[in-house]
């Protein structure tokens, strides 16, 4: 039976050289903090796109406009035709869940800003709140004439402070001034980076009579095939239907290279952590050659000594992981950043924490195993004479 060193022995060894242990923990904590930052970016982007998709919502846009809804253009009368022709659409109290929307990116100016910044605007009708059920007003009121409502991440998308888009402030869009009447949230979806206003007023400001898309909610017995068949039959309208889950799934595929790049960064940072851990652990283990040799003379096998060294490495990695996770939750989690189609929030969720801790433990094992094996290959006699 394998005779192992007591658990307390490895723990006490960490405090025998407090300076070296502290430096090792600090270096590994910094490495893991960068790993957590990369993981929170990937998780935030994935969750933002996943939450944005409602499995009951179907987007109706122009043929070929599914890749970029901003380039889509369909007749405004399509909303009434769809509502009257497709029985599977959700209906309640005589209200049909069809939301005509004008969606585009344009330059938005805030007070005191002469350069402006690209923002995402969406002209909506009152039925938008029926279809976009994740949208909730958190401050102010729904926009009336000459007013807009801003998502809670709209200021981040514009690269401006939140105060610039506070309720009561004004913004200039397409040469017209609009008063901010309210702010809304959308459970972390991409809609939170947008600016919403009355559809008819946005059409006037943009000198457009069409809309970009129709967002339609399927009823309990409704099927996507009904909407798809209608779009194929009305060749004069040149419509195409896309489930919202499919649309955002394509966006996730579009951003796959970015996610792969982030994972590559995680691998590189982890590799740097392994090298740093190897250097530190080498110095730590090589300084204990005589100690390990003496333990072998006392009857402990080389396997037991290697396991004890790995235990110490994993303890250091666990301490570093806890410190890095706490720092990431405090400094990184909830931080909003911009990207091409809007903004999203970095997420230090359970998946990111678990993955980061797994990386930490792996670094602890690899960082301790290599020098331990090297030392264990030395003859006991030679090790006892080591300085």
| Mean pLDDT, the chain, integer | 84
Residue 287: pLDDT band (50, 70, 90) is: low
- The confidence score (pLDDT) of residue 101 equals 94
Give residue 282's pLDDT band: very low, low, confident or very high (50, 70, 90).
Answer: low
Which among 237, 267, 287 is the end of a domain? Answer: 237
Of the candidates 237, 267, 293, which is a domain's last residue?
237
Asked, for residue 248, whether it belongs to a domain, the answer is no
218 and 320 in a single domain? The answer is no
Task: Give the domain range for residue 161.
Answer: 64-237
The predicted pLDDT at position 71 comes to 84
Overall average pLDDT of the 3-9 stretch: 71
> Is residue 297 domain-shared with residue 179, that is, in the same domain?
no
Pair 129, 164: CB distance under 8 Å? no
Same domain? 280 vs 342: yes
- Asked if 218 and 84 sit in the same domain, the reply is yes
d(CA 137, CA 245): 24
Mean pLDDT, range 160-166, rounded to an integer: 90
> Dihedral through CA 47, CA 52, CA 53, CA 54, nearest 10?
120
Domain identity same for 261 and 378: yes
Q: Which residues pair with 195 in a beta bridge?
A: 121, 150
- On whether both 302 and 359 belong to a single domain, the answer is yes
Write down which residue in 202, 237, 272 finishes a domain: 237
Residues 114 and 183 in one domain: yes
309 and 340 co-located in one domain: yes
Residue 231 lies in a domain: yes
Cα–Cα distance measured from residue 352 to residue 30, given in angstroms and rounded to the nearest whole number = 16
Same domain, 33 and 94: no
Domain presence at residue 363: yes
> 70 near 105, Cβ under 8 Å?
yes
Provide long-range contacts, Cβ within 8 A and 24+ apart, for 235-241: 237/74, 237/75, 237/78, 237/81, 238/62, 238/63, 238/74, 239/60, 239/61, 239/62, 239/63, 239/74, 239/78, 240/60, 240/61, 240/62, 240/63, 240/64, 240/65, 240/66, 241/58, 241/59, 241/60
Q: Is residue 152 part of a domain?
A: yes
Q: What interhelical angle do 302-331 and 18-52 show, nearest 10?
A: 50
**Whether residue 271 sits in one domain with residue 233:** no
57-62/239-243 β-pairing: antiparallel
State which of 111-125, 163-177, 331-345, 356-370 shows the largest mean pLDDT.
163-177
Whether 259 and 374 map to the same domain: the answer is: yes
- The dihedrals phi and psi of 276, each to the nearest 5 degrees, come to -65, -40
Q: Structural domain tally of the chain?
A: 2
Mean pLDDT of 49-76: 85
In a domain, 245, yes or no: no
The answer to whether residue 244 sits within a structural domain is: no
Task: Report if residue 274 sits inside a domain.
Answer: yes
pLDDT (0 to 100) of residue 211 = 93
Query: In terms of domains, do 122 and 225 share one?
Result: yes
């Amino acid at each position: 039976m394998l005779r192992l060193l007591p658990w307390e022995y490895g723990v006490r060894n960490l405090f025998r050289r407090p300076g070296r242990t502290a430096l090792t923990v600090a270096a590994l904590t910094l490495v893991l903090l960068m790993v957590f930052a990369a993981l929170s970016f990937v998780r935030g982007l994935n969750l933002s796109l996943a939450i944005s998709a409602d499995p009951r919502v179907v987007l109706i846009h122009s043929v070929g406009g599914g890749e970029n809804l901003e380039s889509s253009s369909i007749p405004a009368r399509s909303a009434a035709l769809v509502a009257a022709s497709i029985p599977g659409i959700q209906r309640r109290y005589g209200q049909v869940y069809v939301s005509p929307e004008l969606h585009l990116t344009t330059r938005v100016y805030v007070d005191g800003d002469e350069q402006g910044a690209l923002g995402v605007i969406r002209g909506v009708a009152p039925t938008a709140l029926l279809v976009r059920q994740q949208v909730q007003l958190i401050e102010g009121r729904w926009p009336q004439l000459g007013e807009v409502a801003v998502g809670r991440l709209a200021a981040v998308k514009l690269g401006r402070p939140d105060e610039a888009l506070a309720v009561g402030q004004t913004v200039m869009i397409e040469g017209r001034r609009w008063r901010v009447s309210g702010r809304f949230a959308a459970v972390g979806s991409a809609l939170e980076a947008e600016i919403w206003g009355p559809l008819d007023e946005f059409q006037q400001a943009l000198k457009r009579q069409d809309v970009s898309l129709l967002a339609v909610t399927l009823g309990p017995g409704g099927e996507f095939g009904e909407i798809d068949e209608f779009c194929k039959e009305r060749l004069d309208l040149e419509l195409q239907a896309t489930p919202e889950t499919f649309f955002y799934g394509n966006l996730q595929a579009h951003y796959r290279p970015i996610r792969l790049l982030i994972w590559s960064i995680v691998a590189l940072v982890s590799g740097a952590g392994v090298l740093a851990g190897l250097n530190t652990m080498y110095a730590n283990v090589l300084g204990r050659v005589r100690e390990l040799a003496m333990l072998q003379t006392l009857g402990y096998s080389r396997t037991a000594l290697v396991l004890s060294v790995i235990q110490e490495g994993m303890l250091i990695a666990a301490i570093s992981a806890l410190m890095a996770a706490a720092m990431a939750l405090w400094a990184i989690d909830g931080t909003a950043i911009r990207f091409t189609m809007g903004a999203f929030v970095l997420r230090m969720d359970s998946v990111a924490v678990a993955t980061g801790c797994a990386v930490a433990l792996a670094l602890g094992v690899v960082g301790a195993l290599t020098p331990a094996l090297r030392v264990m290959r030395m003859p006991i006699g030679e090790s006892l004479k080591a300085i």
